[in-house]
Amino acid sequence: MWREDPLRLRERGFAGLRVVGDVHGDSRGFEAAAAGALAGNIFLLQLGDLTDGGPDSPAVLRRIFALMDAGQGLFLLGNHEHKLRRALMGARMRGPNEGLDRTLAQLADAGDGEALKARVVAEVARAPAWLRRGNSLFVHAAFHPAMLHSPPPGDAGATRPEPPVTRALYGQVVGGLQKDGYPERLLHWVETIPPGITAYCGHDVRSTDGRPLRMKGRAGGEVVFMDTGAGKGGHLSWIDLPL
């Protein structure tokens, strides 16, 4: 079983781990999350979907890249990062792209937009699709049993997603579309999380009270849904975990 701790936070002197949900361009919320993590010597792990939707995706990108450069933060590969990189590489996008178009316009208007675009292309290409730390599994969209036994492919952000990366980016989809034009998603994967394992994920707003939603599956494992609507009319949420 894959039990490597790629974060190695305790030996690096950190006091904790801050898990941050989908940001979607909410620069003010993300700045608050980052500033608090730095003040408390806490490593910041963002679960993907940094951009698309909110008022200032470039500021969010600057902040996460600064955290990465300082060794104080990291982001996981989300479907919106994957789509943004493809768009920057010249691919034609399908489906609803209002958020992506907003991000591309914001990057075009930014003084450092070209540098940010180049950094996005490089960093998204090598962003991890999931990480495991002890009994915690961190992933953007949804859990897959293979994530407990194998590290993610090193080039997940630069290639066409294949299982289980597809699960990591898009969740469990069935091929149909919802009324809003987005793929219909199932939660059957929650039932497959083994006992003692907690998966932290974003992607879907499942909470009804504005707080991260904790759900237990039939197999005994748990999932914490971290997306509470930042950049989409809600707010940004995070959870601090002890080491």
Q: pLDDT digits over 78-103, tens only?
A: 999 999 999 999 888 776 688 899 99
Residue 152 has a CB neighbour count (10 Å cut-off) of 22
Tell me the pTM: 0.93
Phi, psi at residue 93, to the nearest 5°? -95, 145
pLDDT exceeds 50 at position 3: no
Of 120, 133, 129, nearest to 154 by C-alpha is: 129
Buried (b) or exposed (e) across 164-195, using 16+ Cβ within 10 A?
bbbbbbbbbbeeeeeeeeeeebeeebbeebee
* Greater pLDDT, 110 or 90: 110
User: Which DSSP category does 179 fall into?
Assistant: T
- Whether 90 and 61 have beta carbons less than 8 Å apart is answered as no
User: Mutual orientation of helices 113-126 and 79-88 as an angle, nearest 10°?
Assistant: 120
**pLDDT tens figures, 134-165:** 899 999 999 999 999 999 999 999 899 899 99
All structural domains of the chain, each given as residue ranges with its CATH number in brackets, are: 16-241 (3.60.21.10)
Q: Using a pLDDT cut of 70, give the percent of the chain over it.
A: 92
Residues in the chain: 243
- Whether 134 and 5 have beta carbons less than 8 Å apart is answered as yes
Q: How far apart are CA 67 and CA 118, in angstroms?
A: 17
